[in-house]
Amino acid sequence: MTLRHGSCRCGRVRYSISGEPNRVGICHCTDCRQESGSAFAFFGIWKAEAFSTTGETTAYEGRSFCPHCGSHVFAINDVEAEIKFGCLDSAPTDMVPTYELWVKRREPWLKPLPGAEQYDQDRVADQPGL
C-alpha cells in the first residue's frame, strides 16, 4: 500500500495518507484561489480513515492550516480528507488530475487539461439529481 507524507512549511504539522486517492482534481473557485494564493488549487481526496496527522492546526471554514507558518495543508471531515499536493514531501507527485472545477473562473491563458472532465462549477452542481 502506498504511504505518502507531507507537512506545512515549518514542519510543525505533519501528516500521512495511505492508499490511492478516490479522485484528484484542480479547482479554480475563488475560495481555492484565495487560499492557495495562486490561479488554482491541486488536491486529492481520500477516505478520512486513510489520513493521520500530528501537530497543532487551526481551521477556517473546514480548511486546516499551521498557526505558525500559515501553510494550508488539508481539509478533513468524518468522511473525506482533502490533501493539498503542494504540501507533499515528494514533488512532483505521480498524481494526475481527472477533473477541473469552476472552469468558468479559470484564467483565460490556462488551457483545459487534456482528458480531464470539465465542470463549470462544482461536480454535484453540474450534475442535477446527484
Beta carbons of 73 and 60 less than 8 angstroms apart: no
Whole-number Å distance between alpha carbons of 88 and 86: 6
Q: Digits of tens for pLDDT over the chain (130 positions)?
A: 899 999 999 999 999 999 999 999 999 999 999 988 899 999 999 999 999 999 999 999 989 999 999 999 999 999 999 999 999 998 777 899 999 999 999 999 999 999 999 999 998 765 554 4
| CATH architecture designation of domain 3-109 | Beta Complex (2.170)
